[in-house]
Chain A
Amino acid sequence: MKQKRKAFSGIGQLIIPLVALSLLILFNLFRDPGFFSIGVAVNSSGNKVLSGNLISVIDSASELAIISMGMTLVTAACGGQDISVGAVGSIAGAVFVKVLLGASSINGGIVVLGIIACCLATIAFKLFNGALVAVFRIQPMIATLILYSCGRSIAYWISGSATPQLNSPIISAMGMTIPGIPVPTPIFAVILVGLLLALLFKLTNTSLYTQTVGINQGAARLNGINPILIKLLSFVILGVCVAVAAVIGVCRMGNLSHKTLLVDIEMDAILAVAIGGNNLGGGKFRISGSILGAYIIQMLTTTLYAMNVPPVNVKAYKAVVIVIIVVAGSPVVKSKVTAMWNRLRSGGSTAAVQKGVRG
C-alpha cells in the first residue's frame, strides 16, 4: 500500500498530460481508425521511410521538444520564461548557414564546425540574457524581450540574403532521414538531447541546485549554492537546446528563412512546460512532463489539420484545448479533486463544528 502510494506520487505531475495525450489518441482513433497506421513510403531522395500521422507528429515536434527541455530548466531556476528562443534560434540558423556556405563544399567536418559555431553563438546570447536575469534581477520575460524583438533582424544581417539555400545529402540526412534508416533523424536528436540531460543530472547536482534556487534563492545561498551560476547554467543549457533545434529546422527546410525558422516556438515551449505540470513560478520540475507537453501540442495541431480546420482557426481551437489542460492541472482543481478523492476513500468521516449562539 505504502509502496504503491510512493510510485503514484512520483508520477503525479504527469497524470494530467498523460490523460490529455490518451484522450487525444482515443479521439483520433474514434474519428479515424486508420489515423495511427504506419506505412512505408519512398521519400523524395529515394529512401524507404516510415510514414503516417504518428511518425509525422513525433518528427515535427522535435524542435519543440528540445527547446521545451531547456525552457524547463530556465523556468525552474529563474521563475520566468525566455521568450527569445525563436529569435535566437533564427540567429543560430543564420550562423550555421553562414559557416556552411563559407566553405567550398559541405562535408562532415564543416557541418560539425557549423554546429559548434551555432552553439557558441546561442550560448553567448543566452549568457547575455542570463546575466540580466541572474545578476541584475530583471524579470526573465523582460530580459529576453530585447532579443525577441531584434533577434530576427540580427539573423537577417548575418545571413545577408533572404533565403540562402543548402543543397547537400548531409543536410537532408540531418533534417529528414539517413539513407537506410527509416526513422526521421530529428527524432534521434531529441533522444540524444534527452540522454545528455539525463547524464548531466546523473553526474552533477544540476537538478537539486536548480530546484533549490527556484524555490528559495536566499536559503539556497545560505546552504552554499551560488544562485547566479545556477541561473546562468540554465540559460547555457537552453542555448545549446536552441542551437540544436535551429540546426534541425534549417536542415529540414534545406534553406534558411530568418522570418519563419522556429517562429512562435517560444509560446509553444512555454505551454509545453506548463502542460507538463511544471510550475511556471519556478522550483520543482520534471523534464519528461515538458517533453510530453510538446508532443501533446503537436498532436493537437496535427489532429486539427487532419480535421480540415482552416489554418486561421487552428490557433483558436488549440488555445481552447490548452486552457482546459492547464486549468485541469491548476492547484485549485487539483486540491478539489484530491479532497473529493479523500472523502470517497474515507467513506465520509464525521466532522461537526458549531458556533455558539452568543458571543
Chain B
Amino acid sequence: MQNDAVLTMRGICKRFPGTMALNHVDFTLRKGEIHALMGENGAGKSTLIKVLDAQNAGISTVYQEITLCPNLTVAENMFIGRDPGKSVHWKEYEKRAAAILDGLGIPARPRQELSRCSLAVQQMVAIARAVDMKCKVLILDEPTSSLDEKEVEMLFKLMRDLRARGVGIIFVTHFLEQVYEVSDRITVLRNGELVGEYAVADLPQVELVAKMMGKDLNDLADLEQVGQKSLGGQEVVYDARGLSSSESRPFDFSIRCGEVNGFTGLLGSGRSESVRAVFGADRVTGGKVQIKGKTVKISKPHDAMTHGIGYLPEDRKRDGIIADLSVRENIILALQVMKGFFHPMSRSQMEKFADEYIQALQIKTASQDTPIKSLSGGNQQKVILARWLLTHPDYLILDEPTRGIDVGTKLEIQKLVLKLAEENMSVTFISSEIEEMLRVCSRLIVMRDRKIVGELSGDDLTQGHVMKTIAGGEQ
C-alpha cells in the first residue's frame, strides 16, 4: 500500500497568531483515490491544503475562495500562467476552452468576462482550469458549495474519470452524501488535530459526524430535531407588484409576518437576482412595493435597510466581507450604518455586540480584532450572518446562508431561522440544497428562465414536486 502513495505528509504544524491551525497532522494520498478531508469550520482543512500546495509540482488546486481574475475572460482565466515561456495563441486557447466548457457542460462562453458569470459558473471555470492541467494530484476545496445537483453530478463524473487515470484527488466538502457518493477514504480533522483516517465503508455517516464534532452519538439525535415550520401570521410585511431590476424580469412577490419562504430553481434561473431586486442591490427599474401596507420606494440597499430589510448576499467574498477589517467591525457594520453617520457606537458597545454574536454563533476567531480574511470560510459566513441578525430586521433575506458551513452548524442555523420566524421575523431563504429548503420553508417559489413558474406550499412541498416544477413538468 505505502508505495502507492503520491503524497505523504508527516507531523505538519502550522501556527497563526492566536491559533494552532495544524498540530502534528499526518496525511497520505494514494494513487487513483478520492480522499475526503473532513472537519468542522476552522478545523484546518484549507490550511492543510495550502501547506500541501506550497510543495507545488504536479498539484493543481481549486481554492475555497475563487482566485480567478474577474476582469479577464473565461478563456484567459483558464489558460493564464500556463506554459510560461511559450508564445500565447489566444485563438487556439479559445477553441480549447470552448471544447472544455462544452465537455463539462459549463454554461459560459470563452470570451465572456468572468465577472459577468454567476458564482457557480465561476466555480466551474476554476475547476475546469484545474482539471485541464496535467496533474498527479488534484485538490478541490469545497468545489460544490454553490453548485446544483446537475453540476455536482458532472463534477463527480469528471472526478471518477480522473481517478481511473490514476490521479489522486483530495476533496473537501460539508455535504456528507457527496462524500459517500464519490470518496474512497476519509481523513477527519478536529481543531487542527488529526482524528484519524478511515475507509469509507468502515465509517457510517453518524460516526463520521460524531468524529468531526467530537461528540457522542447520542448528543447528535437532538440536533437533528429542527423545529416546527412557521406559516406566519396574516399581516403582509412586504409586497411587490411587477418589481423589476436591471438583472431581473418583472415579478410579483409577497411575504407575511413570521413566514419563511424561499426561491428555488436551477442555477441562473434568477432566484438570487429576484431577492437582489427586493433589496435594491441592482438598479431597480420598475414596480410597486408596499411595506406593511404603505407604499415605499426602495431603490438602493440603504432604503431597504431603513424599512427593516436585511440581506445576506450569495457571494461572500465579493459582496459580504470587508476583508481587512476586524471581525468586530464586520459584525457591527450594518447596524452602525442604520444608526447613522453621526451616531458612531462606542467602542465598548461594539465589543459587547461582537462578543455576544461570536458566542451565539460560536464563531471561531483568535479575537475580535482579527481581520475577517484570516478566518476559515465557514466562520466568515457566520460573521456576515451575525451582521444581519444584529440589525434585528423585520424581514431577512438569506441567500445561501449555509454555504461552506459544517453539518452541525447548518442545523443550528436552520433552527435559528425557525426560531426567528416564531418571533415574528419574516425570512426568505435560498439554498441550492433542496432538502434544506424543504426543512425550513413553508412556501417555495419556483423559478425558471428568470420567471416565476410555480409556487408550492403545504402538502405539495416534497422533493419530487419541487424537482418536477423546476424541470418544467406541468402541474
Binding site for B on A (CB under 8 A): 2, 5-6, 9, 202-206, 208-209, 211-212, 215-216, 218-226, 283-284, 342, 346, 349-359
Contacts and interface: CB of A to CB of B under 8 A. Distances in A.
A282 to B, nearest CB: 10
B324 A283 contact: yes
B305 to A, nearest CB: 5
A223 B10 contact: no
Nearest to A202: B344
| Interchain residue pairs A-B with the least CB separation, the first 3 | A224-B302, A224-B337, A349-B13
Nearest to B56: A355
B323 A216 contact: yes
13 contacts: A211-B322, A219-B318, A222-B311, A226-B300, A284-B325, A351-B13, A352-B9, A353-B8, A354-B8, A355-B57, A358-B6, A359-B58, A359-B168
B15 A358 contact: no
A204 B341 contact: yes
B329 A208 contact: yes
Contacts of B55: 353, 355
A208 B12 CA distance: 38
B333 A358 contact: no
Interface residues of B, number: 54
A203 B12 contact: no
Contacts of A204: 341-342, 344
B337 A225 contact: yes
Contacts of A353: 7-10, 12, 51-52, 55
B344 A355 contact: no
B189 to A, nearest CB: 16
Contacts of A219: 313, 318-322
A212 to B, nearest CB: 5
Contacts of A215: 322-325
B338 interface: yes
B31 interface: yes
Interface in B247-293: 279, 281
Interface string B41-75: 00000000001100101100000000000000000
B334 interface: yes
B227 interface: no
Contacts of B5: 356
Contacts of A356: 3-8, 31
Given A209-B341, A221-B300, A358-B6, A350 B334 contact: no
Interface string B336-364: 11100110100000000000000000000
A222 B319 contact: yes
A155 B3 CA distance: 79
Contacts of A203: 342, 344
A216 B17 contact: no
A215 B17 CA distance: 23
Contacts of A342: 15
Contacts of B336: 205, 208
A202 B369 CA distance: 19
A2 B369 CA distance: 12
Contacts of B279: 222
Contacts of B367: 2, 6
A175 to B, nearest CB: 35
A346 B24 CA distance: 14
Contacts of A209: 341
A347 B5 CA distance: 30
B318 A211 contact: no
Nearest to B25: A351
Contacts of A2: 18, 367
Nearest to A350: B11
A359 B31 contact: yes
Contact of B281 (A6, A202, A212, A222): A222
Contact of A223 (B7, B8, B31, B334): B334
Nearest to B276: A222
Interface in B12-36: 12-15, 17-18, 24, 31
Given A205-B341, A219-B321, A220-B322, 20 more contacts: A2-B367, A9-B369, A202-B344, A203-B344, A206-B341, A211-B322, A215-B323, A216-B321, A216-B323, A222-B281, A222-B313, A224-B301, A225-B302, A346-B15, A351-B14, A353-B8, A355-B57, A357-B3, A358-B4, A359-B136
B32 to A, nearest CB: 10
Contacts of A221: 300-301
Contacts of B344: 202-205, 208
A255 B77 CA distance: 58
Contacts of B15: 342, 346, 349
Given A222-B313, A349-B15, A353-B8, A212 B301 contact: no
A211 B325 contact: yes
B52 A222 contact: no
A330 to B, nearest CB: 16
Nearest to B24: A350
Contacts of B7: 353-356
A224 B31 CA distance: 51
Interface string B299-337: 011100100000101000011111111000100011011
Nearest to A355: B7
A212 B333 contact: yes
A222 B9 contact: no
Nearest to A352: B10
Nearest to A338: B17
A355 to B, nearest CB: 6
